[in-house]
């Protein structure tokens, strides 16, 4: 079996995260878990990037790609959004025939699937952003003042937001469930795609179960 070389790219969005290691440890943990299940992996380099995934100028990412080309190595990231949140850049990267890409949280995904997951996650982030703005504008029009005691109205707004989010994610979740994936596996897939809950958190099996139940109701 030939040795497979990897260039590991870890990315955080802020200097504070880069300084205190917040986020880096989780990325390194998932990547190490991925490598443990590979035969004879060799990590050529581990690069840490402190930059927004939507930023156009990504010198550390460019360095990682060059290293992969020089060493005939595979670019390894924890999640799709660690690679890039910019769809055009993501498309260019996955089309590079001399730079294979692996995502630790999506171990069986090829370059085409990685691009597809990136597109779905980007679309979902935009939908959530639009719905959040619309829900807040609607609540304000009804006289809700955020931070005041009208908690019942705020809770209704949040509940409606959660329902809309669930409906938009259902087209991703239901086919995965039909393929026999467990709730945990679906949650892992959503997290690897960079899809967030209404509150901006990662998914857990119980949240996936609620999405399925709402979609089936």
pLDDT score at 131: 65
Are the C-beta atoms of 82 and 27 separated by less than 8 Å? Answer: yes
The top-scoring range by mean pLDDT among 23-32, 64-73, 81-90, 112-121 is 64-73
32-85 residue pLDDT tens? 999 999 988 999 999 999 887 667 788 999 999 999 999 999 999 998 888 887
Are the C-beta atoms of 86 and 51 separated by less than 8 Å? Answer: no
The confidence band for 9, taking pLDDT boundaries of 50, 70 and 90, is very high
Helical H segments across the chain, by residue range:
15-20, 24-36, 59-71, 80-83, 87-94, 111-141, 151-178, 183-193, 205-216
pLDDT score at 146: 57
State the Cα–Cα distance between residues 196 and 204, nearest whole angstrom.
11
Tell which residue, 153, 156, 161, has the closest CA to residue 134.
Answer: 161
Q: What is the average per-residue pLDDT within 91-101?
A: 87
More confident residue, 192 or 182: 182
Residue 100 has pLDDT above 60, yes or no: yes
CATH topology of domain 4-107: Rossmann fold (3.40.50)
More confident residue, 172 or 4: 4
pLDDT score at 80: 86
The top-scoring range by mean pLDDT among 72-81, 106-115, 119-128, 156-165 is 72-81
pTM above 0.95, yes or no: no
Residue 132 has pLDDT above 50, yes or no: yes
Mean pLDDT of the chain: 80
Going from N- to C-terminal start, the domains of the chain cover 4-107, 116-216
The confidence band for 125, taking pLDDT boundaries of 50, 70 and 90, is low
Residue 20 has pLDDT above 50, yes or no: no
- What proportion of the chain, given as a percentage, has pLDDT over 70? 75
Q: What is the average per-residue pLDDT within 83-108?
A: 86
């Amino acid at each position: 079996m030939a040795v497979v070389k990897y260039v590991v790219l870890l990315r955080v969005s802020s200097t504070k995260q880069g300084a205190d290691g917040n986020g880096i440890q989780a990325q390194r943990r998932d990547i190490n878990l991925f490598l443990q299940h590979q035969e004879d992996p060799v990590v050529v380099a581990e690069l840490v990037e402190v930059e927004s995934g939507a930023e156009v100028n990504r010198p550390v990412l460019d360095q990682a790609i060059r290293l992969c080309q020089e060493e005939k190595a595979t670019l390894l990231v924890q999640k799709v959004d660690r690679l890039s949140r910019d769809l055009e850049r993501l498309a260019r990267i996955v089309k590079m025939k001399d730079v294979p890409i692996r995502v630790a949280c999506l171990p069986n995904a090829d370059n085409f699937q990685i691009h597809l997951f990136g597109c779905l996650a980007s679309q979902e982030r935009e939908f959530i952003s639009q719905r959040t703005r619309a829900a807040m504008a609607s609540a304000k029009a009804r006289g809700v003042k955020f931070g005041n005691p009208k908690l019942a109205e705020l809770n209704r707004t949040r509940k409606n937001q959660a329902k809309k989010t669930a409906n938009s994610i259902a087209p991703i979740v239901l086919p995965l469930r039909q393929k026999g994936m467990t709730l945990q596996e679906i949650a892992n897939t959503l997290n690897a795609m960079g899809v967030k809950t209404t509150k901006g958190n990662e998914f857990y099996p119980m949240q996936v179960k609620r999405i399925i139940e709402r979609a089936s109701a």
